[in-house]
């Protein structure tokens, strides 16, 4: 393909994205705020948080540690790489019975 054809294809794709995509507001579909609980980090993450199920990296230098206890409650602990520190509070996602 020549440069003109590539430029034309990119222009058409950009125009289509601009015309047919719409912005989604971040609050759509959310029902309740998550509870934040203070953690006591004397010797690490409390054992009652349960088993580490996953680690996600939403942005460079930040990791979310996802724990699930025996009742199914999920707790999310943030770890900041640059300071090598855990955040002082954790988000809690309870399970309905």
Is pLDDT at 55 greater than 90 in this prediction? yes
Residue 85 and residue 68 in contact, taking contact as beta carbons nearer than 8 Å? no
- Separation of first and last alpha carbons in the chain: 60
Asked if the model's pLDDT at residue 16 lies above 90, the reply is no
Q: What is the pLDDT of residue 97?
A: 66
Residue spans per domain, the chain:
33-97
Q: Is residue 64's pLDDT more than 90?
A: yes
Phi, psi for residue 33 in degrees, rounded to 5? -75, 145
Model-level pTM? 0.63
| Amino acid 56: pLDDT | 94
Average pLDDT, the chain: 81
């Amino acid at each position: 393909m020549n440069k003109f054809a590539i430029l034309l294809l990119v222009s058409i794709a950009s125009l289509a994205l601009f015309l047919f995509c719409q912005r989604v507001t971040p609050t759509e579909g959310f029902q309740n705020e998550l509870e934040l609980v203070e953690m006591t980090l004397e010797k690490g993450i409390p054992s009652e948080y349960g088993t580490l199920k996953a680690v996600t990296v939403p942005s460079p230098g930040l990791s979310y540690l996802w724990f699930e206890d025996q009742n199914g409650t999920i707790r999310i602990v943030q770890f900041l790489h640059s300071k090598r520190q855990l955040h002082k509070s954790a988000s809690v996602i309870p399970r309905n019975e």
